[in-house]
Structure 1
Amino acid sequence: MDRDLAAARDLAADLAVRAGRLQIERRETLRVGAPKAHANDVVSDVDIASEKLIVEAIHAAWPDDAMQAEEGHGRPGTSGWSWVIDPLDGTRNYISRTGPWSVCIALYEGDDPRVAVVHEPVAGETFSAIAGGGAFLNGERLTVTGGPTLDKALVGVSFQPNPATKERAGKVVRELLPVCGDIRRLPAALNLVYLAASRLDGGLALDTNLWDIAAGALIAREAGVVLGGRGDDFTTELTIGAAPDLWPELSKLIRAGEG
């Protein structure tokens, strides 16, 4: 089945902006629900409203597509295309007002990512990519080249805040922090797109879900970021990203830290 990928990207970008606007408008009146998988896995009524907005609009445009959505609005499909949606990546930052968050939408054909959008509402930044067509920030192409040495590198760190993953993250950070320039903890999608924009030189994400990284990973790769995990490809268990010159040293260090 053919698909107009530019039209899919444009719709995803429009929906991400609309969801981001809703999140800003409703921040003063949000209601936080019961934790999901663990005490730090929080969700608000704004997460749910944002996902509903995105899912309903995509379903109206492509009713036969499947959807994987974090807050339970997913549905099966018959077209061979599937949308992977995180309506609010960084809910804890959003609720506590301690950092950035984003809206993430990716489109897959089978197992292959084809379109990605990550929108940061406060900064008004929309990162996007079409497979094979490059990565963009608000319409301007992003290209990663080179990278600093590890001792000067700024590295993003993302991880699920459950007890087991925090233990894993602590081991990696103990290896990384003394030898890199500095680290920043970020939601996974922004970690990846900030790599694409060369704001970070390297990054790692531990125990994510597909909706956390699907959009950001395509954008990062299209910008020239090297991505991997324990093997040649990244997984939700371990995602490592770096500028090309930094990749050999950073990936070796992180994999050693994972032991």
Structure 2
Amino acid sequence: MTRDLLAARDLAAELAVRAGQLQIDRRDTLRMGAPKAHANDVVSDVDIASERLIVDGIHAAWPADAMQAEEGHGRDGTSGWSWIIDPLDGTRNYISRTGPWSVCIALYEGDRPRMAVVHDPAAGETFTAVDGGGAFLNHQPISVSAGPPLAEALIGISFQPNVKTKTRVGALLHDLLPLCGDIRRIPAALNLVYQAAGRLDGGLALDTNLWDIAAGALIAREAGVTLGGRSGDHTTELTIGAAPALWPELAEKARAAA
């Protein structure tokens, strides 16, 4: 089944912006729900309302598509196309007002990512990509940094804040932080799209979920970021991204440390 990927991108961007506005409008009145997988895996009624807005909008346009959504509004499909949705990546930042968050929507054909949108509501920035068509920020082309040596590089790090992963990240930072220019902790999707825009020279994401990285990974790859994992392609267990010139050095050190 063919698909107009530009139409899919435009709808996804519209829904992401609408969800982002909902998040800004309801930030002062949000209600917290019970934690999910662990005490730091938080969710609010705004996460759920944002996901419903996105899922309903996509279903109205393509009712035969499958959806995988973080807060449980997914559904099976028959078209061979699947939407991967994180309605609010960085909920802890959002509720505590301590950092950025984003709305993430990706479209897969089978196992192949074909379209992606990551929207930062607070900054008013919408990152997009269509498979083979390059990466864009607010309709302007973006590309990866030149890639300085690791000792000068700014590296993003993202991880699930459970005890096991935090212990793993602590060991990684012990080994990696002295070797690089500096490190920023940031939600996974923004980690990847900041690499795409050249703001970060590289990044690591550990023990994520597919909805955390699906959209950002396609945008990063379309901007020229080299992506990989422990061996071969990136996975939710470990995603390493870097400017091509930085990739060999960062990948070697990250694989040894992680």
TM range (shorter): over 0.9
Counterpart secondary structure, 1:146: coil
1:1-259 equivalence runs, <5 A: 1-258=1-258
**Distance of 1:151 and 1:143 partners within structure 2:** 21
**Distance of 2:215 and 2:169 partners within structure 1:** 23
Task: Give the Å deviation of 1:144.
Answer: 1.8
* 1:5-55 CA-partner distances (Å, limit 9, x unpaired): 000000000000000000000000000111000000000000000000000
* 1:104-141 CA-partner distances (Å, limit 9, x unpaired): 00000000000000000010000000000000000000
Residue type of the alignment partner of 2:255: R
* 1:65-110 CA-partner distances (Å, limit 9, x unpaired): 0000000000000000000000000000000000000000000000
Ranges in structure 2 where 5+ consecutive residues have no aligned partner: none
Q: Is the 8 A contact 2:144 2:201 kept in 1?
A: no
Task: Give the Å deviation of 1:143.
Answer: 1.6
Deviates more, 1:136-145 or 1:159-168: 136-145
**Distance of 2:168 and 2:240 partners within structure 1:** 14
CA RMSD across the alignment: 0.5
**Distance of 2:56 and 2:144 partners within structure 1:** 35
**Distance of 1:168 and 1:46 partners within structure 2:** 31
Distance 1:155 1:134, change over 3 A: same
**Distance of 1:28 and 1:211 partners within structure 2:** 26
* 1:121-175 CA-partner distances (Å, limit 9, x unpaired): 0100000000000000000001225310111100000000000000111111111
Q: Between Structure 1 and Structure 2, how many residues are aligned?
A: 258
**Distance of 1:145 and 1:211 partners within structure 2:** 25
Deviates more, 1:165-174 or 1:58-67: 165-174
**Distance of 1:189 and 1:144 partners within structure 2:** 15
**Ranges of 4+ aligned residues in structure 1 off by more than 2 Å:** none
